[in-house]
Amino acid sequence: MSEWQSPSGDNGSGLVAIATTQQSTDRQVSQAQAERAPAVRCWGVRGNFPSLERNQYHYGGHTTSIEIRLGDRRLIFDGGSGLCSLGQSLSQGQQPEGEPGPVDSEPESAQLFFTRTHWDRIQGFPFFLPAFEPNNHFDIYGPLAITGASIKQQLMDQMRRPYCAVSLKDMKAELTFQDIKSRDKLDLGDDIVVEVFNLCPLEPVLGYRITWGKWTLVYSTATELPENEHDWEELLAMAAHADLMIYGTADSDHDWRAEQHPLGEHFDSEAVDLDWQAGLHLAEQAKVKRLMVARHRPFCSDAWLAAFERAIEARFPNSELAREGQLVTLG
């Protein structure tokens, strides 16, 4: 495996009562802490296109969509096919097992951020059920296309006939659209700030640093190898001291056009290519507390990914591969 180098170089009864009271207090404190800690739910973790063969059930097959709960607020990152499952859950008033927060039928609201508008990041949007309910509200953010098209125009285009049976006009929720770019800083209220940074030198491909009180999360799932020290330092600054970094590499046709797809059980250490080494080096140098690797190649089997996960953990112990349905509560 080639080595990657960065560009920069009393009588008992009373005691029982006291103990019982203390246990109750501890539970309340623990619950309060959980409610104030970020919760991350993975609804889709594949790249390129959905894939769910018989040997892919553990890690899942939906394309990328990640939900982050910050108290009562919901932020969604990317709208791959996993967004359909999230939408169904919200529309049915279901709270996934183990997730903090109330279950009710109140109108839904969220902020939805797109990395870019490659199909695997937007294909779930036309089927996001809460967007068809008139009392709901969604703020949608994303980069301009390389053609100059706005994020709204890009989402509309994939919903035009003859490609889609529904159009953006059919979505009755209140939708707002905002074009964003690298170095934008968004104050969402409730002590939530989102900083935007670019992941590609050739076109707008966005990463996000989310700060909520003392917590910092980084969503960077199309990361390209920096070509110079300045870009590397900027990436380091955005990842610095993150409590959780969700990381993925830039798209490559090698992910699905390889002559021998890694669908089988054999793991080749060479598959931990330079882009992944760069991600591990980034987590180490930026002193990231926890690393979650997402956007798995569509043909990778559970056995292959499990071996890959062990290889990554050997290098960065507090790391894991994202799994569809997985809930991570920080703290």
Provide the pLDDT for residue 29: 37
Confidence of residue 176 (pLDDT cuts 50, 70, 90): very high
Confidence of residue 11 (pLDDT cuts 50, 70, 90): very low
| 119-136 tens-digit pLDDT | 999 999 999 999 999 999
Superfamily of domain 37-329: Ribonuclease Z/Hydroxyacylglutathione hydrolase-like (3.60.15.10)
72 vs 309: CA distance, rounded Å: 32
Residue 12 has pLDDT above 70, yes or no: no
* Contact (CB, 8 A) for 224 and 50: no
Residue 271 has pLDDT above 60, yes or no: no
For residue 127, the number of C-alpha atoms closer than 13 Å in the C-beta half-sphere is 15
190 vs 211: CA distance, rounded Å: 11
Cα dist from 150 to 13, 146, 170, whole Å: 69, 10, 19
* Contact (CB, 8 A) for 286 and 240: yes
291 vs 280: CA distance, rounded Å: 8
Residue 256 has pLDDT above 90, yes or no: no
Structure letter (DSSP) for residue 219: E
**How many residues in the chain?**
331
Provide the pLDDT for residue 63: 97
Provide the pLDDT for residue 106: 85
Closest by CA position to 45, among listed 233, 305, 242: 305
Among 34-48, 67-81, 99-113, 310-324, name the most confident range. Answer: 67-81
For residue 115, the number of C-alpha atoms closer than 13 Å in the C-beta half-sphere is 30
Mean pLDDT of the chain: 85
Handedness of CA 215, 242, 267, 299 (dihedral sign): positive
Question: Which tops the pLDDT comparison, 251 or 246?
Answer: 246
Provide the pLDDT for residue 269: 59
In the numeric block, the tokens 């992910």 are attached to 255
Residue 173 has pLDDT above 50, yes or no: yes
Helix axes 274-285, 229-239, angle to 10 degrees: 60
pTM: 0.85
| 283-293 tens-digit pLDDT | 999 999 999 99
Confidence of residue 97 (pLDDT cuts 50, 70, 90): low
User: Which whole number is the average pLDDT over 61-82?
Assistant: 97
Residue 259 has pLDDT above 50, yes or no: no
Phi first, then psi, for residue 276 (nearest 5°) are -70, -40
Q: Domain spans of the chain?
A: 37-329
320 vs 283: CA distance, rounded Å: 13
